[in-house]
Amino acid sequence: MSGNDPGNPGRSDEDAEDVRLMKLVSHGDTSAFETLVERHQSLVGGTVAHMLGSNSDVEDIAQQVFIRVWKSARRYVPRAKFTTWLLKITRNLVFNELRRSKRHAHVPLQTNPGAEEFPVKDEVNPAPDASLLETELQQAIDDAIAQLPESQRMALILRRYEQLSYEEISEVLDLSVPAVKSVLFRARTELRSRLSRYLG
């Protein structure tokens, strides 16, 4: 099956399948629920990871998102796309977590356990500088994103990593489309200024 088509205003095959599964989940069908989790765990897990960064909480928050899905299944009404509804739940839990752990706000976004093993000098490879620079740049981007206000951060992550349309982001964040564009503009401006030493 093809990936999401954010530009398609009608209900896609994928979304119709999600709605069908949710109907089964609302009647207590655990295998339909497992299928839903498999279909969307990378969307939820990826969004949570990019928003929170600390790997220890990611799995826990993602799990909580799907627990909410299970508990809300009977009340679910497919007004928007299923993934939009799912990302709203994700947004609420992530924002709660961010507020709770404000004191850890400046923990680097992604901590790679293998980062220390990265060869600083590799005699076999004549040009490690490019890949080193790339790793450093990616870390700098992650760190800069981590310091954005939560709505800017969420909008940027949904646009950049999940390729959501402005309309979908506006539904997830409960903002108008012009407000989303404005939030993204501010986020990108802030990123550019934080990353100026790399972009210059």
What's the CATH number for 13-199? 1.10.1740.10
Res 52: pLDDT:
87
Residue 19 parent element (H or E): helix 13-26
Using CA atoms of 37, 91, 158, 192 in order, give the dihedral in degrees to the nearest 10: -150
* Cα–Cα distance for residue pair 199/139, rounded to 1 Å: 14
112-162 pLDDT, tens digit each: 444 333 333 444 444 556 777 778 888 888 888 888 999 999 999 999 999
Q: Which two tokens stand for residue 28?
A: 């207590």
Q: What is the mean pLDDT of the chain?
A: 83
Domain ranges of the chain: 13-199
pTM for this prediction: 0.76
168-179 pLDDT, tens digit each: 999 999 999 999
Whether 86 shows a pLDDT value over 60: the answer reads: yes
How many residues does the structure list for the chain? 200
Q: Which long-range contacts (CB under 8 A, 24 or more apart) does 168-174 make?
A: 168/6, 168/81, 168/83, 168/84, 171/80, 171/84, 171/88, 172/84, 172/87, 172/88, 172/91, 173/91
